Amino acid sequence: MWGLFTLLFTGACLLSFLDWRKTMGAVLLIGFTQDIFRKLIAGEPRVFIVMVGAVFAVGLTSLLVRKGRTALTEPFLRWTVGIRTPLILFLILLVLQFFHSFFRYGNPTVSLIGLLSYGAPFLAVIFGYFWATDMEKVRSLFRLYVVIGIVVAITIMMSFQGVRWTIFNEVGAGLKIYDMGTILESHSGIMRTGEIAAWHVATAACLLLILFFTALKRGSNTIVAICVVALMIAVFLTGRRKMFMFFSLFVLFYVFGIAYFRRGVALGYVFTGLVIALAGWLAVEIVFPGGYGESINNYIARGTTVYSDASGRFMEIGINPIYWAYNRVGLLGGGLGIGSQGAGYFGAANVAGGSSEGGLGKIMVELGLPGLIILAWLGLSGFRYVIRILKLAAAQSSEPRWLGFALGVVVLLFANFLTFSVATQLYGDIFILIMLGTFAGILLAIPRMIVNSTELEGLRNLSVQR
């Protein structure tokens, strides 16, 4: 197995180096197969976690060699200068906190883990910005991702049905969920954990909706609804409730955004949502009758409790960890990496405690109050820029698909931010960080893509506006 994966990995790296434009295909190939090989190799080596990052690093290096050093700043500063100051301050803070944790805990691995968690999406933004040259190219990536997501969902369902292949096992001991008066198994399919699988499947469902509403010729609402429901059932079978909430938030804000910018077409989105809900009900009540239905209903019933628990969980995991972090490390934070997965193995055990479970708590415990303030500033500046991008997309009367495309990417990122605020462990995965950074880079590339597609020189005035 080592030999086969080495061959696959080497081919992906070579492809990325020779043509950086093909890096995303190589990233998806390694990202969705690395866990399969890890499960099949004795000892389940942890090194497989970073393989996708290595492929991406090769592609990024190839890009930077060809584009030059100016490529590092163009995605952030070409179309807006409003984020320059908070971005520079944030990068300076990362460097300071890197050395803080390095000298405090005496192990560079802790600092490097933290630097990777913040730096990987930043570098992926740069790559995504240059990679996204037109809407159809991005849509082709989305289509590939959706197809793979459906495959992952099928493997989750196969695991639920009792197929006991080694590649369907969770890495390690596996997760048992004690809920609904019974013990539920977290089915992960070909991914290493149910949580990772749930993110990819839920993301595939979001991308499928973006593809549907930005297609030149829309297909059947029913077929799309059936696919989305199947993906959501797979999410339920992982036992990871937060990803059902993630998808619900995406749909809610997507429909609201369309209603705000284009009230006349909102009814179509609402109708599709109703079709999805109806297909979901039919799937549970008719397609899965009897004992099988009762079994799957335990997962669905657990998943739907996420709504009633949302407010309490947001306070407990989203807000309270800020205070817990302050009690542990003070206002200035404890340094990069101490709130990241794996830091406990390298001299930072129990430093962060439960304060790193929520996103705000993780930022507070690693970067301190200055980190929260700078990121809030950066977020506000970024929000203003995003609104300008959406207004620009909505103004393209000759190509109305731009609004649905831009809004879909924005809402996908926003839903991930809300999920991150209450669950950070998921966002320590390199593959997920690369994909999120790439999505953000695609968003920043939309003004350039619109300029290229419309060939209107007047739109270049956007580059000097704040």
What is residue 346's predicted lDDT score, i.e. its pLDDT? 61
User: Which of 75-89, 100-114, 220-234, 306-320 has the weakest average pLDDT?
Assistant: 306-320
Could you tell me what percent of the chain has a pLDDT over 70?
79
What is residue 343's predicted lDDT score, i.e. its pLDDT? 62
Rounded to 10 degrees, the C-alpha dihedral 403/406/408/409 comes to 180
What is residue 320's predicted lDDT score, i.e. its pLDDT? 77
Q: In terms of C-beta density within 10 A (0-12 exposed, 13-18 middle, 19 or more buried), how is residue 359 classed?
A: buried
| pLDDT greater at residue 11 or residue 171 | 11
What is residue 290's predicted lDDT score, i.e. its pLDDT? 46
List phi, psi (to 5°) of 184: -105, 135
Residue 313: name the closest of 231, 416, 212, 421 by CA.
Answer: 421
What is residue 57's predicted lDDT score, i.e. its pLDDT? 96
Q: In this model, does residue 190 exceed pLDDT 60?
A: yes
pTM for the model stands at 0.88
Segments making up each domain of the chain, as ranges: 73-464
User: Which of 90-99, 133-142, 150-159, 286-295 has the weakest average pLDDT?
Assistant: 286-295
What is residue 459's predicted lDDT score, i.e. its pLDDT? 45
What is residue 182's predicted lDDT score, i.e. its pLDDT? 62
Tokens representing 160 are 């639920």
pLDDT range class, residue 202, cuts 50, 70, 90: very high
pLDDT range class, residue 258, cuts 50, 70, 90: confident
What is residue 416's predicted lDDT score, i.e. its pLDDT? 94
Specify whether the CB–CB gap between 27 and 55 falls below 8 A. Answer: yes
The DSSP result for 336-368, as a single string, is: TTTTSTTGGGGT-TTSSGGGGSSHHHHHHHHHH
Tokens representing 221 are 């609402």
Rounded to an integer, what distance in angstroms lies between the CA atom of residue 26 and that of residue 59? 9
Mean pLDDT of 358-369: 86
Specify whether the CB–CB gap between 201 and 195 falls below 8 A. Answer: no
* Sign of the dihedral through C-alpha 178, 183, 184, 185: positive
* Sign of the dihedral through C-alpha 102, 108, 109, 111: positive
- Whole-number average pLDDT of the chain: 83
Mean pLDDT of 122-132: 94
What is residue 129's predicted lDDT score, i.e. its pLDDT? 94
Q: In this model, does residue 35 exceed pLDDT 90?
A: yes
What is residue 293's predicted lDDT score, i.e. its pLDDT? 47
pLDDT range class, residue 440, cuts 50, 70, 90: very high
What is residue 303's predicted lDDT score, i.e. its pLDDT? 59
Rounded to an integer, what distance in angstroms lies between the CA atom of residue 121 and that of residue 60? 12
The DSSP result for 144-203, as a single string, is: HHHHHHHHHHHHHHHHHTT---GGGSPSTT--EEEETTEEEE---TTSSSHHHHHHHHHH
Specify whether the CB–CB gap between 194 and 205 falls below 8 A. Answer: no
Specify whether the CB–CB gap between 303 and 244 falls below 8 A. Answer: yes
What is residue 331's predicted lDDT score, i.e. its pLDDT? 87
Q: In this model, does residue 278 exceed pLDDT 50?
A: yes
What is residue 460's predicted lDDT score, i.e. its pLDDT? 47
Q: In this model, does residue 352 exceed pLDDT 70?
A: no
The DSSP result for 70-131, as a single string, is: GGGTHHHHSS-STTHHHHHHHHHHHHHHHHHHHHHHS-HHHHHHHHHHHHHHHHHHHHHHHH
Could you tell me what percent of the chain has a pLDDT over 90?
40
Specify whether the CB–CB gap between 76 and 444 falls below 8 A. Answer: yes
Instruction: Give Dmax over CA atoms of the chain in angstroms.
Output: 64
Rounded to an integer, what distance in angstroms lies between the CA atom of residue 288 and that of residue 417? 34
| pLDDT greater at residue 43 or residue 422 | 43
Contacting residues for 373 by C-beta, under 8 A, at least 6 apart: none
Residue whose pair of structure tokens reads 């690395």 in the numeric block: 34
Residue whose pair of structure tokens reads 């803080």 in the numeric block: 100
What is residue 326's predicted lDDT score, i.e. its pLDDT? 80
